[in-house]
Amino acid sequence: MFDFGIDGYQPRWLNGEDSVAKHHGGRLARLVGRTLTGPWVVWDTAHDEWFADCPVVLDFAGERLEVNHQKFDDLSITWNSIDVTRPPAWPTSDDFRLAWRDDVPAVLAARRGQRLEAVELLEWAGGDLADGSVAVGLCFPDGWLTLYNALDENGLAFGQVEPEYRRHRLG
């Protein structure tokens, strides 16, 4: 299993809202009321940009949610397995320098210190190739953060949840 160069990380790929809810719904719901203390992404230091192939790590006061998307509809949610003090080592290139950062992207870093108000699984129903893909929606006091499949990598959006999503409230 490919670990994205992250020691201890073992993604568990799921497809479909039912499967994700069955495996992670209860634990996701229990995040409601917790404060986001550490939002982390992997950063490509040479190009000074987010490397969206690696998981997004959200630390809610000691409960670490790890979200990753690949292909068109694969979603992996893991818990407390990633040590963000250890930089990823991309296995196919020694010249590819990666680091964990908690201050970027701004849309994610701005949620630090905010209390999580709700969690939803969002099932895309836009009538296109992405139909059925599952995103994770997190409601903070100032709006919704959506972690979605950006066609074989992670995407982040902030604001209102797009109307093409079927919303499944967990907590």
Return d(Cα 82, Cα 86) in angstroms, integer. 9
pLDDT-derived band at 171, boundaries 50, 70, 90? confident
- Report yes or no: 7 and 86 within 8 Å, Cβ to Cβ: yes
- Three-class SS string for the chain? CCCCCCCCCCCCEECCHHHHHHHHHHHHHCCCCCECCEEEEEEECCCCEECCCCCEEEEECCEEEEEEEECCCEEEEEECCCCCCCCCCCCCCCCCCEEEECCCCHHHHCCCCCECCEEEEEEECCCCCCCCCEEEEEEECCEEEEEEECCCCEEEEEECCCCCEEEEECC
In the chain, what percentage of residues exceed pLDDT 90? 87
And the tokens for 123? 């099932």
With 70 as the cut, is the pLDDT of residue 100 above it? yes
pLDDT-derived band at 91, boundaries 50, 70, 90? confident
For residue 67, the model assigns a pLDDT of 99
Return d(Cα 102, Cα 90) in angstroms, integer. 19
Which of 1-10, 26-35, 40-49, 150-159 comes out lowest in average pLDDT? 1-10
pLDDT-derived band at 2, boundaries 50, 70, 90? confident
Type of residue numbered 74: D
With 70 as the cut, is the pLDDT of residue 1 above it? no
**pLDDT single digits (tens) 54-70:** 999 999 999 999 999 99
Q: How large is the average pLDDT for residues 37-41?
A: 98
Cis omega (within 30 of 0) for bond into 55 = no
Average pLDDT score, the chain: 95
Return d(Cα 76, Cα 109) in angstroms, integer. 22
With 80 as the cut, is the pLDDT of residue 119 above it? yes
Q: How large is the average pLDDT for residues 69-97?
A: 91
